[in-house]
Amino acid sequence: MSDPMRPPVSHHHPEPTSLRSGPSRSRASLRTAVVWEVLQEALERRVKATGRESLDVLDTGGGSGNFAVPAARLGHRVTVVDPSPNALFALERRAAEAGVADRVKGVQGDAHGLFDVAERGGYDAVLCHGVLEYVDDPAEGVRNAVAALRPEGVLSLLAAGLGGAVLARALAGHFKEAKQALDDPNGRWGTGDPVPRRFTAEQLTGLVEGAGLRVGAVHGVRVFADLVPGVLVDTEPGALEALLKLEEAAAELSAFHSVATQLHVLGETGGAGETSGAGETGGAVEA
Mean pLDDT of 263-269: 96
Number of H helices, E strands in the chain: 10, 7
How are the residues of the chain apportioned to helix, strand and coil, as percentages rounded to the nearest 5? Answer: 40, 20, 40
| Pick from 28-42, 126-140, 180-194, 204-218: least confident | 28-42
- CA torsion angle for 239, 171, 157, 115 (degrees, to 10)? -130
Measured between alpha carbons, how far is residue 67 from residues 10, 40, 79, 212 in Å?
15, 10, 11, 25
Give the integer Cα–Cα distance in Å for 272 and 47: 11
264 pairs with which residues across the strands?
158, 219
pLDDT score for 276: 37
Q: How confident is the model at residue 270 (pLDDT cuts 50, 70, 90)?
A: confident
Highest mean pLDDT among 98-102, 223-227, 277-281: 98-102
pLDDT at 155 over 80: yes
DSSP class of residue 125 equals E
DSSP 170-190: HHTT-HHHHHHHHHSTT---S
Q: By the 8 A CB rule, do 195 and 188 touch?
A: yes
Q: By the 8 A CB rule, do 25 and 14 touch?
A: no
Mean pLDDT of 47-76: 94
pLDDT score for 4: 44
pLDDT at 34 over 60: yes
Mean of the per-residue pLDDT values for the chain? Answer: 85
pLDDT score for 26: 62
Mean pLDDT of 129-138: 95
Share of the chain above pLDDT 90, in %: 71
DSSP 217-270: EEEEESSSTTTS-HHHHHHSTTHHHHHHHHHHHHHT-GGGGGG-SEEEEEEE-H
Mean pLDDT of 78-100: 95
pLDDT score for 171: 93
pLDDT score for 7: 43
pLDDT score for 230: 76
Q: How confident is the model at residue 91 (pLDDT cuts 50, 70, 90)?
A: very high
From the list 204, 185, 186, the residue with the least C-alpha distance to 128 is 204
Give the integer Cα–Cα distance in Å for 61 and 82: 5
Give the integer Cα–Cα distance in Å for 67 and 32: 9
Q: How confident is the model at residue 282 (pLDDT cuts 50, 70, 90)?
A: very low
Structure confidence by residue, pLDDT tens digits, 173-229: 999 999 999 999 999 999 999 999 999 999 999 999 999 999 999 999 999 988 887
Mean pLDDT of 38-59: 95
Mean pLDDT of 226-254: 85
Q: By the 8 A CB rule, do 217 and 281 touch?
A: yes
Structure confidence by residue, pLDDT tens digits, 68-80: 999 999 999 999 9
Give the integer Cα–Cα distance in Å for 107 and 118: 9
Q: By the 8 A CB rule, do 13 and 130 touch?
A: no
Residues 6+ away with beta carbon under 8 Å from 163? 200, 257, 258, 259, 260
